[in-house]
């Protein structure tokens, strides 16, 4: 056994990696979730359906080529727990895990064919400074690595810190997000097929504002993907 393996085993004994689902120790090949809990993520399978719920939430609101979500987001569900840990507990490896899982699912459906660049929904600079990272960028980067598609956080900027969307109606959310984003690198986006990535889709107002800003770029094409889609 190599010294590095002995060291890794010793560290695991002192600080065991635990499954985010059942809190049991993970084996070496497992990441974030054990094999059993990984199968419990409620995947949507939307990537094989053109008229899926994610696409329907944006239909008639903004132009897009395709839209999908990886898994259902329910109150107190496993995905809610994972995203809460990712956003508020500095568990950045969860973003990489979810992005990688999503990328595998998208690749199996050939869904990413033709995408030129991946752009995450931006955080405002003050919010990102407070958190230390943008969870959507972590997801976008993981998808990009697996699919060999560049992911960038520099092309779209959040210029206005908006109020919380939690208690707002759909119309209020749209008004709240209006003008919140601007394109910072339009020349390099000209004629490109852009994939917008976000963590959770509820009403879609935030992504709608991103797409609206990107429409200023000449001959741009846009697709939309989120890790979760909120269901009641």
The 10s digit of each residue's pLDDT in 118-140 is: 999 999 889 899 999 999 999 99
Dihedral pair phi/psi, residue 153, rounded to 5°: -105, 5
The residues near 102 (Cβ < 8 Å, ≥ 6 apart) are 70, 139, 142, 143, 225, 227
Which has more pLDDT, 116 or 175? Answer: 116
Q: Both 36 and 65 in a single domain?
A: no
Are both 224 and 109 inside the same structural domain? Answer: yes
Are 177 and 76 found together in one domain?
yes
pTM (two decimals): 0.89
Total domain count, the chain = 2
Cα(115)–Cα(129) distance, integer angstroms: 30
Q: Compute the average pLDDT of residues 145-167.
A: 83
Q: Which two tokens stand for residue 54?
A: 């994610």
Q: Are residues 26 and 80 in the same domain?
A: no
197, 219 contact by CB (below 8 A): no
| 108 & 26 share domain | no
Tens-place pLDDT, residues 157-213: 998 776 565 655 666 666 666 678 999 988 899 999 999 999 999 989 999 999 999
**CATH code for the domain of 61:** 3.40.50.2020
């Amino acid at each position: 056994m190599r010294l590095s393996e002995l060291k890794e085993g010793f560290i695991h004994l002192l600080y065991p990696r635990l499954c985010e689902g059942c809190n049991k120790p993970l084996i070496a090949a497992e990441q974030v979730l054990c094999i059993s809990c990984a199968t419990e993520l409620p995947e949507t399978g939307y990537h094989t359906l053109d008229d899926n719920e994610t696409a329907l939430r944006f239909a008639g609101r903004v132009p897009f080529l395709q839209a999908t979500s990886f898994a259902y987001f329910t109150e107190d569900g496993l995905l809610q727990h994972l995203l809460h840990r990712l956003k508020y507990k500095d568990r950045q490896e969860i973003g990489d895990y979810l992005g990688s899982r999503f990328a595998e699912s998208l690749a199996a459906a050939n869904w990413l064919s033709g995408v030129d660049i991946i752009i995450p929904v931006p955080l405002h600079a003050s919010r990102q400074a407070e958190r230390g990272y943008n969870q959507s960028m972590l997801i976008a980067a993981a998808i990009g690595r697996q699919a060999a598609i560049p992911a960038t956080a520099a092309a779209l900027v959040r210029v206005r810190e908006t109020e919380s969307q939690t208690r707002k109606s759909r119309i209020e959310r749209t008004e709240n997000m209006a003008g919140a984003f601007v394109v910072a690198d339009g020349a390099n986006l000209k004629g490109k097929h852009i994939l917008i990535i976000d963590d959770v889709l509820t009403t879609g107002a935030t992504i709608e504002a991103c797409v609206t800003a990107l429409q200023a770029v000449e001959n741009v094409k846009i697709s939309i993907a989120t890790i979760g889609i909120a269901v009641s």
